[in-house]
Chain A
């Protein structure tokens, strides 16, 4: 019997089909969990696909609106944060700030690079869990000092050196969760700043040690203002969960600025299940928060800073069109510095991953030398060059946002409005409360 004869007699068979529910990545995680007995810890934000700014489009000008000339006509980008109560509000040249990231999670040179890049672009950077470093203060013309549950490194001298204070209630990657800096990243310097022995895991509490609830927060903010002579803007940062109520309560507690971080916002380390399954997409947070500010009559008086998945000027413009006064970037800033760069692919491979997917930031073995305290790895990041890259990136984002704003007929990024937008999906239309493309309708719109 020839081969041809055998083939002819083989009956048709069903193709092997991978389960959508039990996909290869899911099955691999089941096997990993079964083998190790420990949940997966990683850095970064949600990797799953969620409704996002990509699901929105700008309408642009036409007969009913006329555009501004793309390169010549003014389109202002300045923003002032902290105008409500602070004697010394922060004035930024661009509405894109650098989000809080800790020294400890990041190397000293990485923090320096963030300060250099942000300062060159005329914007602010932010400390993180672990206190304020000399490098960061020295290279940041405007530095926001985070006031976190752990209070690692917290002291009144640094509080007074800050340009603003950010009371961190939560973050988008893990709203309701604390943090952990694993022992392998605890160098002598990190340990000293945190008043703990070298080499042990440092837990960051999930809630503040000396206040609970909005009434206490109001008194805590009073204390911080009294210590700093009412000069510093006080931000309150919340993870995206109940944005309407959290924003309203932050306003009630006396915040000058509300920072709202969606689930795509990154963290140095937490459980993967937390990152992927707790909190709201950034897109779903903005309109309820703006609604709260409007209901209280303080939209634009209390500024709203939105973070979590901001990648380009279009994202900036969309967030601002939905009502944000500014945005903050973390993950994108690290990528601009050199994080997950394919130039280190061979080393990512050795760590069992690939460029673009590396997220074991907590292990301190970052080939790019950013999320590490290893002295040799740190040398791979030149803070001057990396700072220049960040400045360039911030500049490009600003130019992109201006391009869009002009095309919509606005001479100020803050004049962008929801009416400039439409949505590509029902979900995005519902979350952003802008019409589905080609219609006048969005889910929940009154009158329909």
Chain B
């Protein structure tokens, strides 16, 4: 049975407490949040296989540190959506502000619109699929995981990147330090096909280019200090 929670009539604290109280075997698996009105920290720290549907736009850190849960925002999300996500799925129907998926360790973040700057910053295993464009400094210091951009990427993509894989279908305004275009091998096509399918995108994997680390900054050298 659908549980409906009105954020205009009830507090954020009570909402998150109710969601945190759901155990792995809960039968309250379906939640609807209405009137989010840009609230911050909506559905943060979840750790149960529940589905949360947010009817409207949210503020900072929506679904932060998510585990297991599926959070679907029927609107746009503010900065830091799904930051440090561990597992589960977060879908944003609209646009996402800065730092989407920052430091995420796992799970899938889907942004149907555009993502602003620093999308996937310091990502540590999360998969991010952006149907539109991403802003500057996206995937800065990205450690692992996959960032898929169906549109264009802004300046300094993948600056100081470690082992994350970046896939961009459109243009890249500029690559950041130590980020280079790499060969798209069959295994990358397969990874990309799976991610696009799970993210509900009809883009073709063959249309993308892959970017990653040149691995020239991995060990400290004097020439790297300038």
Contact = CB atoms under 8 A, between A and B. Distances in A.
Interface in B32-54: 40-41, 44-45, 47
B64 to A, nearest CB: 5
Nearest to B118: A209
Contacts of A205: 122, 141
A85 to B, nearest CB: 12
Given A205-B141, A210-B79, A156 B86 contact: yes
Contacts of B220: 180, 182, 201
A230 interface: yes
B127 interface: no
Interface string B194-226: 000000000000000000000000111010010
Interface stretch (B9-17, B148-156, B167-175): B9-17
Contact of A219 (B60, B86, B160): B60
A154 B61 contact: no
Give chain A's interface residue range (CB within 8 Å of chain B).
20 to 34
B125 A156 contact: no
Contacts, number: 105
Interface in A215-243: 216, 219-220, 222-223, 226-230
Interface residues of B, number: 43
A411 B56 CA distance: 58
A201 B219 contact: yes
A203 B44 CA distance: 28
A211 interface: yes
A110 to B, nearest CB: 24
Given A195-B143, A196-B143, A205-B141, A226 B219 contact: no
A231 to B, nearest CB: 11
Contacts of B103: 151, 154, 209-210
Interface string A245-278: 0000000000000000000000000000000000
**Majority secondary structure of chain A interface residues (helix, strand, loop or mixed):** loop
B17 A229 contact: yes
A155 B84 contact: yes
Interface in A36-58: 36-39
A38 B20 CA distance: 51
Interface string B178-207: 000000000000000000000000000000
Contacts of A36: 222
Given A209-B121, A219-B60, A223-B61, A155 B105 contact: yes
Given A210-B80, A226-B44, 17 more contacts: A38-B225, A151-B84, A151-B122, A156-B47, A182-B219, A183-B218, A197-B163, A200-B218, A200-B219, A209-B102, A209-B121, A210-B99, A219-B60, A219-B61, A226-B41, A227-B64, A227-B65
Interface of B: 12-13, 16-17, 20, 40-41, 44-45, 47, 59-61, 64-65, 67, 79-80, 83-84, 86, 98-99, 102-103, 105, 118, 121-122, 124-125, 140-141, 143-144, 160, 162-163, 218-220, 222, 225
